[in-house]
Amino acid sequence: MASCYRDYCASPSGIHSAAKHQREALEKARDQVRALIGLPANEGRIVFTGNGTEAVNLAVRGFISANRRFGNHVVSSKIEHPSILNLLQDLDRTGVQRCLLSVGGEGFYDVAGLSERVTPETVMICLSLANAELGTIQMLEAIGQFARERSIGFFVDARAAGGRIPIDVSALNADVLALSAAAFGGPVGVGILYIGARTVLDPLCYGGEQEGGLRPGEENVPGIVGAGLAADLASQRLVENGECRRGLQLLLWRHLNASIPQVYLNGPEIGERRLCHQLSVTIKDVEAEGLVLFADMRGLAIATSGGCLSQRLDTHYVLNEAGLSPEAARQTISLGVGLDTSENEIEEAVAILSSGASRLREMSPAWSS
């Protein structure tokens, strides 16, 4: 990335040697992303955007705009990322109707009920490969096949899954698929969109012919180069990293369970159907905001909800849909482990959380040990 800034500070649209270097760097990054999602060379397109949210908007709004003559109905779910739910809400103004699937307590889609939600006007199905808050990994292959057989566009939001689980875009039968480079170790400010060879999108804005005219404006070459390298590293280490994080995740949960009374895991059990890096836990009679502040003062960063909603104090809708009461949702925190997290750090973190939970429970009139 530094070399792109320092040695080849040029627009990739030019015809001189520095521009040629930047174009080659862009194409290399595309190939590295292709490998991450199991995409053979020369099949489909990889388009870079300014972030994951922009990639989602280009995928969904762009597809519906280009294919509106085939229908005006979209199927999604109640636990999607705000960038999807708020977009679908905005599309209501243009006459696009939406149907949102419910989920069970572990966050899995009601696949069996999908056929009842689809109408002759359904133009697109928008679902996530994994849910960042509950950790749920969905099995979308059957849904993709269902959509393909009915000529319905299928968008997969893979931002929470990219670099954490194997992705085979062909097996998913995805027409469009979104990633965020920051989720798999790349720089913030780079979104990625896979577009199938037969898929047509309308651009969100107009300008030059960069990214095939779908994302006009000069590309963020240094950021894209960083995203490509991160994709390459994630591809090479996918199994190793998954096993490492799964062990740390399990250790964290065991320590929490042993140290704090009445702590409950949300989402699937730790295993193949759960993302390997995170835990969502409810600690009875411990307000999450208070625990976050207590931990932060002691050098431990935790969250109360997904990153895009972390500054909101209202109960998170994903937890509500998973069956948690408003009170339980206010007592829920989100924890994550990184590849460089050590067992000692996990023990220190649990000691801080245990101390904070005890302190806050002492101040809670509802707590009874």
Task: Encode pLDDT of 127-175 as tens digits.
Answer: 999 999 999 999 999 999 999 999 999 999 999 999 999 999 999 999 9
Task: Name the catalytic one among 4, 244, 276, 308.
Answer: 308
238-362, which class in CATH?
A: alpha beta
How far CA 148 is from CA of 43, 108, 142, in Å, comes to 17, 21, 10
Reduce the secondary structure of the chain to three states and give it as a string: CHHHHHCCCCCCCCCCHHHHHHHHHHHHHHHHHHHHCCCCCCCCEEEEECCHHHHHHHHHHHHHHHCHHHCCEEEEECCCCHHHHHHHHHHHHHCCEEEEECECCCCCECCCCHHHHCCCCEEEEEEECECCCCCEECCCHHHHHHHHHCCCEEEEECCCCCCCCCCCHHHHCCCEEEEEHHHHCCCCCCEEEEECCCCCCCCCCCCCCHHHHCCCCCCCHHHHHHHHHHHHHHHHCHHHHHHHHHHHHHHHHHHHHHHCCCEEEECCCCCCCECCCEEEEEECCCCHHHHHHHHHCCCCCCECCCHHHCCCCCCCHHHHHCCCCHHHHCCEEEEECCCCCCHHHHHHHHHHHHHHHHHHHHCCCCCCC
Lowest mean pLDDT among 233-242, 291-300, 309-318: 309-318
Q: pLDDT band at residue 313, thresholds of 50, 70 and 90? A: very low
Q: pLDDT band at residue 311, thresholds of 50, 70 and 90? A: very low
Q: Is the pLDDT of residue 357 over 90?
A: yes
pLDDT for the residue 3: 83
pLDDT in tens, 319-329: 999 999 999 99
pLDDT for the residue 368: 65
Q: Is the pLDDT of residue 223 over 70?
A: yes
Distance of CA 358 to the CA centre of its chain: 33
pLDDT for the residue 147: 96
pLDDT for the residue 321: 93
Cα(262)–Cα(236) distance, integer angstroms: 39
pLDDT in tens, 79-99: 999 999 999 999 999 999 999
Topology (CATH) of 2-236: Aspartate Aminotransferase; domain 2 (3.40.640)
pLDDT for the residue 348: 97
Q: Is the pLDDT of residue 260 over 50?
A: yes
pLDDT in tens, 25-70: 899 999 999 999 999 888 899 999 999 999 999 999 999 999 999 9
Tell me whether residue 308 is one of the annotated catalytic residues.
Answer: yes
Please state, rounded to an integer, the average pLDDT across all residues of the chain.
91
8 A C-beta contact, residue 186 and residue 231: yes
Domain boundaries, the chain: 2-236, 238-362
| Between 180 and 10, the higher pLDDT residue | 180
